Structure 1
Amino acid sequence: MNLSRPAGVLILVAAGALAACGQDKIAEKVAPLEITQGTSCSLDGMLLADYPGPKAQIFYAGQTEPEFFCDTVEMFHVYLKPEQVRPVRGIFVQDMGKADWDEPRDNWIDATAAYYVHGSKRRGSMGPTLASFASEGDATKFAAQYGGKVYRFADVTPDMVVLDGGALHDSTM
C-alpha cells in the first residue's frame, strides 16, 4: 500500500490521538469528595451531615460530581438495581473503624475493597445500615460488639438493601 505523505501524517496523528485517549482513561481516576453542611442525598435530598452512620458516593461515567448517599443501604440499593446499570468510575464509603459514627467525616475508602457488617444494632440515617470498614478486623470487632455478619462488597445482595423500612414484612398493618 503506497500512501501519500499527507495521508501518512494524518494516520500517525490519529494513532497518537487514540493512544493519548487510552492514557486519559488510565489517568481518569477519581478521588472521593468530602461532604459539606450542604451536601444532600441524591435519592431523597436529606443533608448528609445531619445524620449518623456511614455515607457513600458514586462517580458515574460522564459526570464530574458524584451522587451522594446518606446511607450505604441506599448506595447498594441503587448500585445493585439492574435498571440502574451505568458505568461507574469510582465508588466510596466511609471507614467506620476510623470515622465517628455520630458525625462521620472524611475516611473515604474504595467501596469494592471494604468489609460490611449487615444486621447490627447500630442505625444509620435510614435505620438499619451496612457498616463499612477498611479492615476485616475492625468489621469483626464491630460485629462482636453490635451484632451482625461480615460481608465483602460482592456478597451484598439486593434483598439485603431493600428500602421499604421493613413495611413489606409487617403483618400488623
Structure 2
Amino acid sequence: MLFITACSNEDTTQHTKNLPVAIESGDECHLCGMVISEFPGPKGELFEGRQNSVRKFCSTRDLMSWYLQPENKPNSKDIYVHDMSRSDWNSPNDEHMINAKDAWFVVGSSMKGAMGPTLGSFAEKAAAEAFVTKHGGTVLGFNEITMDILNTGSVSNMGSMHH
C-alpha cells in the first residue's frame, strides 16, 4: 500500500497546472521577437519542459504555429489564450486567460492580430459563434487547428491542399 500511495503522490506533483502569467510591457514574442503588448488581438502563452519555462506569443496564431511543430508538441504542457468574450480586442486582459485546449477558435475573421490574420479565442462556443456573425470566419476546436489553416488563414481550402 505504501508504495502505491508514494506513486500517486509523485503523479500529482508532475501534473500541477501552471497558472497563466501576466504579459509584461517589454515581453517579446517567442516566435517572431516582436513586443507583444504593442499589438491587438488575443495572445497566448505556453509552459514547457520540466522547468515549466513559459513562452509568450504576440498572437494565438504564433502560439499555435509554435505548438504544432513536431519537436515542440510533446514538450508542451499548459497552454493559455485570452478569452476574447471578456476582453477588449485592442488590449486583451491577462486576468481572462483560459486553457487553450478547452477554447474555441475563430479562423478567417476580419479581425487582425500582430501579424495580420489571427485566431479569435473564446471560452464558450456561443461567444465564438456570435463573433463569427459580426466578423466572419469559422469556429474550430483546439485539435482542429492545423498548420495548413494557420498558413492560409482560412479553412476554405482544407480539402484541396496539394502536396
SS of the equivalent of 2:109 reads strand
* Stretches of structure 2 lacking an aligned partner (at least 5 in a row): 154-163
% of aligned pairs identical?
35
How many residue pairs match? The answer is 152
Pair member with larger Rg: 1
Q: Tell me the amino acid that sits aligned with residue 145 of structure 2.
A: V
For the 8 Å contact 2:67–2:76, the answer to whether it is kept is no
Match of 1:52 in 2: 40
Q: TM-score, normalised by structure 2?
A: 0.84
Match of 1:115 in 2: 104
Match of 1:132 in 2: 121
Q: TM-score, normalised by structure 1?
A: 0.80
Distance 2:124 2:12 in 1: 32
**CA shift for structure 1 position 39:** 1.6
Distance 2:72 2:52 in 1: 18
Distance 2:111 2:131 in 1: 10
Match of 2:143 in 1: 154
Match of 2:26 in 1: 38
Distance 2:51 2:151 in 1: 26
SS of the equivalent of 1:37 reads coil
Distance 1:85 1:104 in 2: 25
CA RMSD of aligned residues (A): 2.1
* Stretches of structure 1 lacking an aligned partner (at least 5 in a row): 1-11, 165-173
